[in-house]
Amino acid sequence: MKPNARICGLAGALMSLGALAWLCATAAAAEAAVTTTPGSEPSLQIPLESQELAEPLETFNLRFSSVTAPFAKEPDLGRHRIVRGALGFGGPTNNFTRFLWDQTANRLYLDLNDNQDLTDDPEAPFPGEYDGYLQLFPRLKLSLESPSGRHSYLVDLRLGGSNPGQLQGTCAMRSIWQGRLELGGRAYQVGLAENPLATTAAGEAHYFLFRPWDARNEPIRLNPGTPHLVSWSPKIFIARQAFSVAANYKNEAGVPRYLLTLTPTQPPLGQLRASGQFLYRLVLQDPVGYSAILDSPVEEGSLPAGNYRTAEVWLRHGTAEAFYIGPLSLIVRANESVSLVAGGPLTNTVTAQGRGVELALTYRLTGQRGLDYRMTSEDRTNPPSWRILANDKELASGKFAYG
């Protein structure tokens, strides 16, 4: 081999090695969900993807701005009754999406690309359905500006009103952001639900989603409630670990994405001994500290010291589920133990109060500590019933009325 050829071969080998090393490093960086900062435990970064929900999560009122001038390019709608307008969420912005509503054909044209041309939007027009006195446009993608950038919301849109000055409507959010996280050898689904009315980027994350990965297909309903969404808190305690939480939204090249960052923290811990039957999940909220999510079994374990003011107590037995959401005072001191009595069994409770010639009966479903619970499966068409007995003989019976 000539010396020149030997040098070329060596250089080629070195370049190949360099390229291989660069490729390996790039691949490692792409796969990593863990990043480290000097002097602290590694942060967990979870990319979140949008997921459509089987049913609407939360409903928001829309703001309307009247638009009377025709769009630069409109479909030929003949003599149809049409209403032009612009809709947006409740924040103090001038951010609206303009639309043309063909009330005769029950179709909605949205100017999603904001170019005054209603004939070039690929998904338009959106067909509507009659839903009471409003027209429903289901599973519609709204694209609106927010403090962190342009967001795309999957919504059920309801519109009413026969002229631009009388427009009214709501939109029900139908999507959440979710990703997968492994903690302590167990897989979880984590994510967030957005608040489209937020006026700051920090306020855009409305609820924190956290549940075992196996439970990811359970429906999420805010009415009457779900154990798997808790109010967003910058500090959370999940799977017996404390984290500070941040959600960063980016919309690059029209691809929206959230990055959820969980940074481990080391708060002083106390011990909780919880007693009560059927406890499935306990959510304790300190308004200036941590939101602690304690999953079954929650009988004994640690949690950050703090002055917890409110709680969610979720009970499950088989397919039955009941919950309490409300005030619950619990002070947890560092390195000290505290007891909490909450949970089942549940008791149907009735109180009677004479009101003149009538007897007012009040129903409550109570658990330990006298907390008021609700069944998530409550059938409002079949409320609890009552009976009045005298000398073991039934005098009267009936059903309670909700209200």
Partner 1 sequence: MASTPRTKGELKIVASADLHDLGANESPAVSYAWSSWHIGLSPRILPWLAILGLCLLRPNRCLQAWLVWLPLLAVTGIGAGIHHWLKIDDPGFRLFVQLLPTALAFGWTASLLLVPLALRPTKPARFPFLLLGLTVFSLLELALGYDWKEETFVDVVCALALQFMVFGLAAALSLAGRSASRRFTIPRLLGWLVLWSLVVWLALAVPPVSLSLVGNREALYGISGAIGCCCLISLLVTLPFLALAAAVPRYRQRLQQMAVPPQPAPEPAATVQRQERVLA
In the complex, the residues that contact partner 1 under the rule CB under 8 A are: 133, 160-162, 166, 168, 278, 315, 317-320, 322, 344-352, 354-361, 363, 365, 375, 377, 383-390, 395-396, 398, 400-401, 403
CB of 391 to partner 1, least distance (A): 8
Closer by beta carbon to partner 1, 108 or else 315: 315
SS3 53: coil
Residue 250: how many other CB atoms lie within 10 Å: 11
CB of 101 to partner 1, least distance (A): 15
Closer by beta carbon to partner 1, 92 or else 354: 354
Per-residue HEC secondary structure of 142-193 comes to EEEEECCEEEEEEEEEEEECCCHHHCEEEEEECEEEEEEEEECCEEEEEEEE
Provide the 8-state DSSP code for 132: T
CB of 363 to partner 1, least distance (A): 5
Closer by beta carbon to partner 1, 68 or else 163: 163
One-character DSSP codes across 215-275: GTTS----SS--TTEEE--SEEEETTEEEEEEEEEEEETTEEEEEEEEEE----EEEEEEE
Residues 345, 366 contacting (CB under 8 angstroms): no
Closer by beta carbon to partner 1, 202 or else 396: 396
CB of 317 to partner 1, least distance (A): 5
Compute the distance between CA of residue 249 and CA of residue 150 in angstroms, rounded to an integer.
10
CB of 167 to partner 1, least distance (A): 9
CB of 61 to partner 1, least distance (A): 13
Closer by beta carbon to partner 1, 234 or else 384: 384
Closer by beta carbon to partner 1, 191 or else 344: 344
Q: Of 154, 229, 176, whose CA–CA distance to 51 is shortest?
A: 176
